[in-house]
């Protein structure tokens, strides 16, 4: 029995943005096993479609929708299509997000003698910073505006946002992503309060450092030894290892499930092997 089969979301409509990506595709596949009807939204339709097909092939219910979380018209069109296919949204997972190299410094610290080719804080590109803030913050706020309208007054409706370790203490090199994820934690609390009279709970998870096929090569050398950055992460993770996508699933299902979490509203749940609790000393 998988973890998901312990939860029953039969006939609930679960809308997941960024579901063509690594984490949210995994969430979609597991949530579909609970009997939910899962809508996989992504700007990359091909990727979302591939995962929806996999879910359908296993006999569960899912459909992919090309959606740009930064365009209200696109989100509204998807909302109408989902309403016609499955019914209106019960649970929204705002997963679309990410960083951009134009908003990333080359070095952890500014120094007096940096080579002129170094991309320092002073070289960060305004368009890259806007991209990161828009994708993470507006890309959570706009889908919430569209889908939460249908969730008002529904039984057991809730929203889950994806924050990050950056929200607690910024990581070096990525000031825009850190600020945008701090804004997501803040917005999660704001929504929890704002919708508390109309039955929509809102919570977030803050994943720690995970290994995926996408970042494996950055974290480990060919012999499987941690790279310098990976070593730093592991040294600062009390449990001394990376997490895996499947270890986020318990937190997601727990927060989604009214039987377990009916009075949990406005929390950001770290799933991080203790990283956010550790000062490093």
Give the bridge partners for 15, in sequence order: 39, 92
Q: Of 26, 177, 260, 278, which residue is the catalytic one? A: 177
Binding flag, residue 207, ligand NAD (CB under 6 A): yes
Binding flag, residue 162, ligand NAD (CB under 6 A): yes
Alpha carbons 149 and 72: distance in angstroms, whole number:
13
Q: What single-letter DSSP state applies at residue 136?
A: I
* Binding residues among 236-255 for ligand NAD as defined by CB under 6 A: none
Nearer to ligand NAD, 32 or 156 (CB): 32
**Which part of the chain contacts ligand NAD (CB under 6 A), choosing from 7-15, 32-40, 41-49, 191-199?**
41-49
Closest C-alpha among 60, 1, 62 to residue 33: 60
CB of 41 to ligand NAD, least distance (A): 6
* Binding residues among 110-139 for ligand NAD as defined by CB under 6 A: 135, 139
Applying CB under 6 A, which of residues 47, 88, 186, 189 lies at the interface with ligand NAD?
A: 47
Number of residues that bind ligand NAD (CB under 6 A): 25
**Which part of the chain contacts ligand NAD (CB under 6 A), choosing from 39-47, 57-65, 125-133, 254-262?**
39-47
Closest C-alpha among 165, 213, 175 to residue 23: 213
User: Is 177 considered catalytic here?
Assistant: yes
Closest C-alpha among 18, 96, 20 to residue 55: 20
Three-point CA angle 123, 125, 131, nearest 5°: 150
Alpha carbons 202 and 160: distance in angstroms, whole number:
6
Applying CB under 6 A, which of residues 3, 44, 72, 133 lies at the interface with ligand NAD?
A: 44
**Which part of the chain contacts ligand NAD (CB under 6 A), choosing from 57-65, 68-76, 223-231, 260-268?**
68-76
The three-state (H, E, C) secondary structure of 141-196, written as one string: HHHHHHHHHHHCCCCCCEEEEECCHHHCCCCCCCHHHHHHHHHHHHHHHHHHHHCC
Cβ(234)–Cβ(242) below 8 Å = yes
CB of 117 to ligand NAD, least distance (A): 28
Which residues are marked as active site?
A: 177
Binding site for ligand NAD (CB under 6 A): 17-18, 20-24, 42-44, 47, 67-70, 95-98, 135, 139, 162, 164, 207, 210
């Amino acid at each position: 029995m998988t973890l998901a089969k312990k939860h029953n979301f039969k006939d609930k409509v679960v809308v997941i943005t960024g579901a063509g990506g690594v984490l949210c595709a995994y969430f979609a596949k597991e949530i579909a096993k609970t009997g939910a009807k899962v809508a996989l939204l992504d700007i990359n339709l091909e990727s979302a479609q591939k995962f929806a097909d996999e879910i359908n092939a296993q006999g569960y219910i899912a459909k992919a929708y090309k959606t740009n979380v930064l365009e209200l018209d696109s989100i509204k069109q998807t909302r109408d299509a989902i309403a016609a296919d499955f019914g209106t949204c019960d649970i929204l997972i705002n997963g679309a997000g990410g960083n951009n190299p134009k908003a990333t410094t080359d070095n952890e610290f500014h120094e007096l003698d940096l080579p002129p080719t170094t991309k320092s804080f002073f070289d960060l590109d305004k368009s890259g910073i806007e991209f990161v803030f828009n994708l993470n913050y507006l890309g959570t706020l706009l889908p919430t505006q569209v889908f939460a309208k249908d969730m008002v007054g529904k039984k057991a409706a809730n929203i889950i946002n994806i924050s990050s370790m950056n929200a607690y203490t910024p990581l070096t090199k990525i000031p825009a992503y850190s600020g945008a994820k701090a804004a997501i934690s803040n917005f999660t609390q704001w929504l929890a309060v704002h919708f508390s009279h109309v039955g929509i709970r809102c919570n977030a998870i803050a994943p720690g450092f995970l290994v995926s096929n996408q970042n494996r090569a950055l974290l480990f050398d060919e012999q499987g030894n941690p790279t310098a950055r990976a070593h730093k992460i592991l040294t600062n993770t009390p449990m001394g290892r990376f997490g895996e996508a499947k270890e986020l699933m318990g937190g997601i299902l727990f927060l989604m499930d009214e039987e377990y979490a009916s009075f949990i509203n406005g929390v950001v749940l770290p799933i991080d092997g203790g990283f956010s609790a550790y000062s490093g000393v």
